[in-house]
Structure 1
Amino acid sequence: MKTLTGITLASLLALQVHASETTIHLGDFNNFDPVAEQLPEYEEICLEGRGSFPTLTEEEYAAHLTEAQYGRCAKAFSVGDIGLAGGVVYYVSEDGLHGLETAPDIIRRVEYGCFEIFIRGAGGEEIGSGRKNTDSVLRKNCSTMHGGVTGFRLVEELNVNGFTDWYIPSKHELIEIYDSLGAFPFFKNSSYNAHPSYFWSSTESDRWYAQAYHMTSGREAYAHKSQRLSLLPIRSF
């Protein structure tokens, strides 16, 4: 039990019983100086590792890590580090506490969807606009031309180590992956025109096309929304 100038709760109760013998003045507490009394200071303990939270589900632990990144236990990241969700960090703020990370794995051969449909709010190109683009497309609830679900729907349902806040990068968020991390090594032997080496961005060009990027050569492209390209989901932290 912590004490205030040596007086415990129990002793205060005892003093009330013997009020005739002892008088406690409010001023005694107002003049209390914790520095002078050298009481121990509170220190937040930053627990690390999944083993520190054995009772949490993956989703609860992911939420804990996300919240901690905005508090005293925030971790500073550098480009190339493994991110909170297990992907690769490729863009960071000046202090390294916030940025973007890729998913650990890619999604292959999926359509953008929404062919012949203009999507208001999905034309953002800059870093920071991928989330809005993705949400705008999802609200349209579009179908594909060749069957199956759109890449956007797959990303919406993606759960990686408990993290479910993934989205499709905007044009410049996608280009930044290539600029920061270089050509993906597992694509170096791919044919130059192989569709799996072209990746969707969430940036729509018009009713028929969206912007894509070749992750081996660094070449930009306008891709027909019905084409089946690859996806590399990202998340913000």
Structure 2
Amino acid sequence: MKLLTLGGTALLTFFATVNVNAESSVGYEEATFEMGGQGPAGGVIFYLTDDKLHGMESAGYLKDSQGLYMLAEWGCNDIYKDVGFGVKLGEGKANSLELLEECSSERGGLIAAKHADNYVQNQYSDWYLPSQDELSKYSYLMWESGRKVVNSSADIEHYCTWSSTNYFWNAIGAGYAQGMTQEFDEYYSLYTSGRERSKECAIVPVRDF
């Protein structure tokens, strides 16, 4: 393991493993990757295809210029706003595009999806807010490897983290729309929850490669 800085956040990560296959039939060499290793943009790989040629990487929790965790609203505080219903792996990008087109902040700032969209690392600018399953895969990888979701400090455990997935709650004929988050319970175990869209939660940009 080694200390890696992602987007101003210091975190412990596995040593990046990149293998180069023998020359392929189209005449060039292809790199393979490892789970928990470093992706093309310098993020932590949390999903890989079976051939280990493609996958998803995360930049970790965004921080501001003062080193504090960046928090933002989910946006689209309108009741029943029909956006971001993709939950599964591979649906975060489409969710984020919907949020960028349809949603704004109640406080006048940037919504979480816009912060993720604005993020640039190692000249890669194609980051987005993950779907709930994408965020869960990243979070559980970090948790199981003993890194408590991206870094060695405990203060992030007190924050919710936004996914780009919508959550609609309905009880006894009354309903309201929320955003889905990844959070900790009192035993520091990860769980999924719905949160009011005007609440400010942390942001974890991801990208495909």
Runs of 4+ deviating beyond 4 Å:
none
Deviation at 1:146, TM superposition (A): 2.3
Aligned to 1:231: 203
Higher strand share: 2
1:127 aligned onto 2:96:
no
1:150 aligned onto 2:111:
yes
Question: Any idea what SS the aligned residue of 1:76 has?
Answer: strand
Most deviating of 123-132 and 109-118: 109-118
- Per the alignment, do residues 78 and 209 of structure 1 end up closer, same or farther by CA in structure 2, a change over 3 Å counting? same
TM-score by length of 1: 0.63
Question: Any idea what SS the aligned residue of 1:205 has?
Answer: strand
Deviation at 1:156, TM superposition (A): 1.7
Q: Structure 2, unaligned stretches of length 5 or more?
A: 1-25, 64-69, 169-175
- Per the alignment, do residues 228 and 205 of structure 1 end up closer, same or farther by CA in structure 2, a change over 3 Å counting? same
- Per the alignment, do residues 185 and 128 of structure 1 end up closer, same or farther by CA in structure 2, a change over 3 Å counting? closer
CA contact (8 A) 1:119 1:136 kept: no
Deviation at 1:95, TM superposition (A): 0.9
TM-score by length of 2: 0.71
Q: Structure 1, unaligned stretches of length 5 or more?
A: 1-70
Deviation at 1:80, TM superposition (A): 0.9
Larger-Rg structure: 1
Question: Any idea what SS the aligned residue of 2:82 has?
Answer: coil
Deviation at 1:187, TM superposition (A): 6.2
Instruction: Output the aligned Cα RMSD.
Output: 2.1
Deviation at 1:136, TM superposition (A): 1.1
Q: Summarize deviations over 1:45-78 as a string: whole Å, max 9, x none.
A: xxxxxxxxxxxxxxxxxxxxxxxxxx73321011
Deviation at 1:186, TM superposition (A): 3.2
Q: Summarize deviations over 1:89-141 as a string: whole Å, max 9, x none.
A: 1110111101100015525211111101544351111101101101111111x
Question: Any idea what SS the aligned residue of 1:135 has?
Answer: helix
CA distance in 2, matches of 1:236, 1:92: 10
Equivalent residue runs for 1:50-129 within 5 Å: 72-107=28-63, 108-116=70-78, 118-129=80-91
Q: Summarize deviations over 1:197-227 as a string: whole Å, max 9, x none.
A: x110000113630100026531211111001
CA distance in 2, matches of 1:164, 1:185: 20
Equivalent residue runs for 1:1-237 within 5 Å: 72-107=28-63, 108-116=70-78, 118-140=80-102, 142-182=103-143, 183-184=148-149, 186=151, 189-190=154-155, 194-195=158-159, 198-206=160-168, 208-214=177-183, 217-237=189-209
CA contact (8 A) 1:86 1:104 kept: no
- Per the alignment, do residues 167 and 76 of structure 1 end up closer, same or farther by CA in structure 2, a change over 3 Å counting? same
**Residue identity in the other structure for 2:99:** V
Higher helix share: 1
Task: Give aligned-pair identity as a percent.
Answer: 27
- Per the alignment, do residues 229 and 161 of structure 1 end up closer, same or farther by CA in structure 2, a change over 3 Å counting? same
CA contact (8 A) 1:121 1:132 kept: no
